[in-house]
Structure 1
């Protein structure tokens, strides 16, 4: 049974099969023709879609929602809703106000959208909870702190590390409250999803973040549930310090070489999950591309302490047949290998033109992002430019490339960019999976002026 397979894997026991967890967040709405906003606000529609996902995708584990803005909304952030994405944070209550929120604001079961979410969890638990391990996804303490503080937090990390630690520790208490409510509603695995951890050096993580995160994972374990630490972006350098915070599992996206990362997680006996490419394979690939992607992945890895899943929240428009192809490859690898025995993936980037950087009138900032509306790290990298643009618009222009648009995917490959988000200045990769402070960015722009 799938649920037991997840449990065995997170208990670090040997298994005969590899577990499969489709992170089909807003994508489940597509299965029944509902928008992302509808399923993130309407309990009946969300439950209907999750049960359909269980039927179609035969998951061993399944998340109830993938929305990292639930806590931010409760704590006073304004959201911008989208048809095919989770909402994005548009205001930051602590921007310009270096304070810690009152403990009275910590979420309760009556806060924000939690009544709908908790009821959905209980209903799905009753319907399929004996067969499928259910994941409750919460916003990690650092990303939540960034939602509250905005881009100011990146300067705070240099100028006032004590404040950042205090704010992250407050947000960890929010995470603990969320974990308690989700466990009470029947969730088996609490995934602490914190995209921005990949933007922080291991040294800074240990100094400002580790205490809060460790408290969250220790709490989840004390309640008899499993934990997963989900980080987007190039978290290669952060894997070891993440393991030291003592989660049961870690999930990473396609920016991370899973085989190399697994060598680290195996040293700490931590399960690792990932990392089927979201756009190039799941969204735009063929069924054969998806089968080959999964088979190549599992053939490159020891299957102990391993969960196969998409690299992050699946795009809304991911073809249903592609996700079924991934499930087929995980569940029936031998027959799938025969199906794709002679298959080769074809890539053509020939139509992309690269700017003549030496002859531009202004400095050109190019932002290569996964999705500025859905990916928190991408949102804050874009905000770093937008926040200063009124100061630099006479000397610099900027362009945004999104890794869910075919032409932009091709441009990313042609520029030789390996990790997202990345900021280029006049064609040079300057900030790779790191969000610059205001001063760092302005200084770098001025270096490229004619």
Structure 2
């Protein structure tokens, strides 16, 4: 059986012979050929070269030709900042004004980088027809936040109808791109919406349930399965996500996957995840990755489960780690035997915590995966910086990215398990919920009085 058929069977609810494996290859594959992230996101030949190398080394059953949530935003007027080791990030918001006006522009096949992506998809499909090709589109809520900026979180309280109209518009835009991807040969369409973890179920039902149901109905009408991909601690929204009609929910390490599968099973929805991006895939050994993969496969079984990272693999994750996961998937018992005597090592450094009581300023620490690559992390960091902007030297904002071992050690010491989160003078204030700038300013002011 081909990897593509294996994944389609899992999405259809069938018991399969083994667990399928989908490495969410993003900028990391540039390393396989010595390119930068920016090079492969702008050069179709280089991107295809890296994709084919990744397909050869990582032995995937499915993979996306590109993992970039800024494609639609760039076309709609957002400026991007480009990096050597991550996908680009949005750095301007065309709707970031006092009045929210809903755009009318729709995507065309000739817009922005769409021609490059469609060409790569067609060429990759021709070269690797047995691999399920995932077309990743930016989720409507994250796209709306790219256009509106952090104002959208206040709008959800002050301008409900405006937010509904903006998200509905974004769902139509995303549906356009999904159709182009399907025409180029994509077997699955995944809407990647990191910010879904940052809102309550009530807000999900108010603002996102109808647009997402419409989006997934449009994909279903093309006879292609869909996947709802969320980052962060989306535990509270797993059930509302299932109710949108998607065939798969993809989660990261912030979610208890066994508990989440109890929910997805009730709706006959497949679940995908949730290898740890930093502790295991970036900082672990090949054996660490194989051990975690086998443990996940053992507890999740061979029905309605797809093994995958929690998001796109970090740029500096060693190729050997992804190769190791592929080996564990295809030769599970042999790898299990080889790991019998392996014991993982705790390599986190000893760190000295800030002396919060002695500081002459309020220290706001934003714990992120990486604000450049994680949209929710980026907007939480921006909210903290915006709150501190008028306070001068009275406040210092520091990002603690989980990409660095010392920040994982910080999380352990402070008792924090999820990102993005905000810590103010050593006190955990916000976990996987982006606060308003006004709320943050009040909390900073209160910390000053202590």
Q: What TM bracket, shorter-length normalisation?
A: over 0.9
Q: Return the alpha-carbon distance in structure 1 between the equivalents of residues 328 and 300 of structure 2.
A: 15
State the distance in 2 between where 1:375 and 1:391 align.
Answer: 26
Alpha-carbon offset, residue 349 of structure 1:
4.1
The C-alpha deviation readout for 1:167-193, integer Å capped at 9, x for no partner, is: 000000011101110001100000100
Are the equivalent residues in 1 in contact too, given 2:132–2:187 (CA < 8 A)? yes
| Residue in 1 that maps onto 2:118 | 118
Partner residue in 1 for 2:38: 37
2:348 and 2:405 in contact (8 A); partners too:
no
Partner of 1:77: 78
Rounded to whole Å, the distance in 2 between the matches of 1:228 and 1:390 is 39
Kindly indicate whether residue 3 of structure 2 is the aligned counterpart of residue 2 of structure 1: yes
The answer to whether the aligner puts 1:203 opposite 2:188 as a matched pair is no
Q: Which residue of 1 aligns with 2:55?
A: 54
Q: How many aligned positions are there?
A: 448
Aligned to 1:227: 226
Runs of 4+ in 1 over 4 A off after TM superposition: none
Match of 1:251 in 2: 250
For 1:245 and 1:127, how far apart are their aligned partners in 2?
A: 34
Determine the structure 2 residue equivalent to 1:383: 382
Specify the alignment match of 1:191 in structure 2: 190
Cα deviation for residue 303 of structure 1 reads 2.7
RMSD after superposition:
1.1
CA distance in 1, matches of 2:441, 2:141: 25
Contact 2:19–2:301 (CA under 8 A) maintained in structure 1: no
Structure 1 position 281 matched with structure 2 position 274: no
Contact 2:293 2:325 in 1 (8 A): yes
Q: How many Å separate the matches in 2 of 1:57 and 1:160?
A: 47
Query: CA–CA distance in 1 between the matches of 2:184 and 2:384?
Result: 41
- Structure 1's unaligned 5+ residue stretches are none
Instruction: Report how far residue 99 of structure 1 moved.
Output: 3.2
Structure 1 position 437, deviation (Å): 0.5
1:94 matched residue in structure 2 = 95
Q: Is the 8 A contact 1:349 1:411 kept in 2?
A: no
Secondary structure at the aligned position of 1:229 is classed as strand
Q: Paired residue for 2:127? A: 127
Counterparts of 1:155 and 1:426, CA distance in 2: 25
Q: How far, CA to CA, are the matches of 1:72 and 1:96 in structure 2?
A: 17
The question of 1:445 aligning with 2:450 is answered: no
Shift of 1:330: 1.7
Using the size of structure 1 for normalisation, the TM-score is 0.98
Answer yes or no: is the 8 Å Cα contact 1:162–1:208 preserved in 2: no
> TM-score by structure 2 length?
0.98
User: Quick check: 2:388–2:441 contact (8 Å CA) kept in 1?
Assistant: no
Offset at residue 333 of structure 1 (A): 1.6
2:347 & 2:221 partners in 1: Cα distance?
A: 51
Give the whole-Å Cα distance in 1 for the aligned partners of 2:6 and 2:54.
18
Distance (Å, rounded) in 1 between the aligned partners of 2:414 and 2:335: 33
Q: Name the counterpart of 1:403.
A: 402
2:170 corresponds to: 171
1:118-174 deviation digits (Å, cap 9, x = unpaired): 111111111112x10000100000000000000100100111111111100000001
Give ranges in structure 2 of 5+ residues lacking alignment. none
Q: How far did residue 395 of structure 1 move?
A: 2.7
CA distance in 2, matches of 1:394, 1:164: 35
Contact conserved, 1:37 with 1:83, CA < 8 A, in 2?
A: yes
Name the SS for the 2:428 alignment partner. Answer: strand
**SS class of match (1:272):** strand
> Is the alpha carbon distance of 1:39 and 1:424 closer, same or farther for their aligned partners in structure 2, counting shifts above 3 Å?
same
Instruction: Please say if residues 21 and 308 of structure 1, whose CA atoms lie closer than 8 Å, have aligned partners that are also in contact.
Output: yes
Query: Matched residues in 2 for 1:337 and 1:278: separation?
Result: 21
